[in-house]
């Protein structure tokens, strides 16, 4: 058993008098899909915001075992610094660059890799060979992800003009273009129709199999979560109430209680997402 990619210990986030996250422990491993579930307002997105550097946690330790840079304490980094370690997220309410094309969105994502190759824009301004090669490689990376997510046909469209389901895919493609270590998806299936959700499940399973990265997932679609997750953490009122495999979680009494009944009730509520 190798050590997990991400090790979160005692994560606590306090907003004034409100204790949003209370000493949560969780781990995420490479080649595994880890799901974070819980009722609305349980603190899932707050945990995500702490993990990805958008909030500074009140307490706790977020340890990322980086294959080349060694162990990194994420809570000490600035917001954009976390993304540079390879922990890249998507957003619950999609955040694309709407008036830029899909391809441009994916190229912006490769900013960190491209910036030194443009030698702070000097090589780029002179259009030197090294820069052109770097840009072609970036376009190739983008093209691969567009093909993968069936977005080639809309590569030159403005991202903001696409349908909701497509925008979700563009956001995942954009995150994957950064060549991440840990992909954090905040409700990737929200608003997708059942067919799109199935495609998403296949995609995530494919990424897990091929890219050797970890996936951390917040999701309300219990069908999807139970289907593809390797490990599930359940939070309620900011605290972790259960952890285990899908089968264990399914039968966990506290989880069932937290959701006030069958977890599948949530499934039905989300199944009728907007049509394509």
Partner 1 sequence: MAAPIPSPTGPAMPFVHRLREAVIAGLVAMALAVPFLGLRTVNLDQGLVVQANLAYVPLAGAVVFLGRLILGLLAAPLAKAAAPLATWRPPAGAQRLRPWGGPLLVLAAAALPFLPFANRYVIDLGTTALIYILLATGLNITVGLAGLLDLGFAAFYAIGAYTCALTTTQLHWGFWPALAAGGLASSLFAVLLSLPILRLRGDYLAIVTLGFGEITRIVILNWQGLTGGPNGVSGIARPTLFSLTFDRRAPAGGHTFSEVTGIAYAPEHRLIFLYLIILALTALAAYTVARLRRLPIGRAWEALREDEIACRSLGINPTMVKVSAYATGALMGGLAGCFFAARQGFVSPESFGFMESATILAIVVLGGMGSQAGVIIAALFIVVLPELARGFADYRMLAFGLAMILIMIWKPGGLLSGRLPTIRLSNAKPKPVAEAA
Interacting residue ranges for partner 1, rule: CB under 8 A:
52-54, 78-81, 83-84, 88-89, 91, 95-101, 103-104, 107-112, 114-115, 118, 120-121, 124-125, 127, 136, 139-140, 142-143, 146, 152, 155-156, 158, 174-175, 178
CB of 131 to partner 1, least distance (A): 8
Nearer to partner 1, 84 or 250 (CB): 84
Residue count of the chain, please give it.
276
CB of 265 to partner 1, least distance (A): 32
CB of 102 to partner 1, least distance (A): 8
Enumerate residues 6+ apart whose C-beta is below 8 A from 23: 10, 11, 12, 59, 60, 239
Q: Which tokens belong to 259?
A: 């959701």
CB of 45 to partner 1, least distance (A): 13
Q: Which tokens belong to 62?
A: 């977020």
Nearer to partner 1, 100 or 271 (CB): 100
User: Alpha-carbon Rg of the chain, whole angstroms?
Assistant: 19
Nearer to partner 1, 79 or 130 (CB): 79
Enumerate residues 6+ apart whose C-beta is below 8 A from 31: 208, 209, 212, 213, 214
CB of 71 to partner 1, least distance (A): 19
Nearer to partner 1, 74 or 226 (CB): 74
d(CA 260, CA 253): 10
Nearer to partner 1, 136 or 274 (CB): 136
d(CA 122, CA 191): 43
């Amino acid at each position: 058993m190798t050590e997990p990619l991400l090790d979160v210990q005692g994560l606590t986030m306090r907003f004034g008098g409100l204790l949003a996250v209370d000493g949560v422990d969780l781990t995420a491993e490479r080649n595994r899909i880890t799901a974070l579930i819980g009722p609305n307002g349980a603190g899932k997105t707050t945990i995500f915001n702490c993990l990805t550097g958008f909030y500074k946690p009140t307490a706790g330790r977020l340890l990322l075992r980086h294959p080349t840079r060694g162990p990194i304490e994420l809570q000490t980094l600035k917001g954009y610094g976390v993304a540079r370690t390879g922990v890249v997220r998507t957003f619950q309410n999609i955040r694309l660059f709407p008036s830029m094309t899909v391809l441009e969105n994916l190229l912006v994502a490769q900013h960190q890799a491209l910036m030194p190759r443009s030698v702070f824009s000097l090589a780029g301004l002179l259009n030197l060979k090294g820069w052109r090669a770097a840009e072609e490689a970036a376009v190739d990376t983008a093209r691969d992800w567009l093909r993968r997510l069936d977005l080639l046909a809309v590569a030159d469209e403005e991202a903001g003009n696409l349908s909701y389901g497509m925008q979700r895919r563009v956001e995942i493609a954009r995150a994957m273009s950064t060549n991440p270590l840990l992909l954090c998806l905040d409700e990737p299936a929200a608003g997708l129709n059942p067919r799109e959700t199935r495609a998403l499940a296949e995609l995530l399973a494919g990424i897990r199999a091929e890219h050797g990265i970890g996936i951390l997932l917040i999701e309300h679609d219990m069908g999807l979560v139970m289907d593809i997750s390797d490990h599930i953490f359940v939070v309620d009122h900011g605290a972790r109430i259960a952890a285990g495999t899908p089968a264990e979680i399914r039968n966990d009494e506290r989880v069932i209680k937290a959701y006030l009944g069958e977890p599948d009730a949530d499934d039905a509520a989300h199944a009728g997402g907007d049509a394509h």
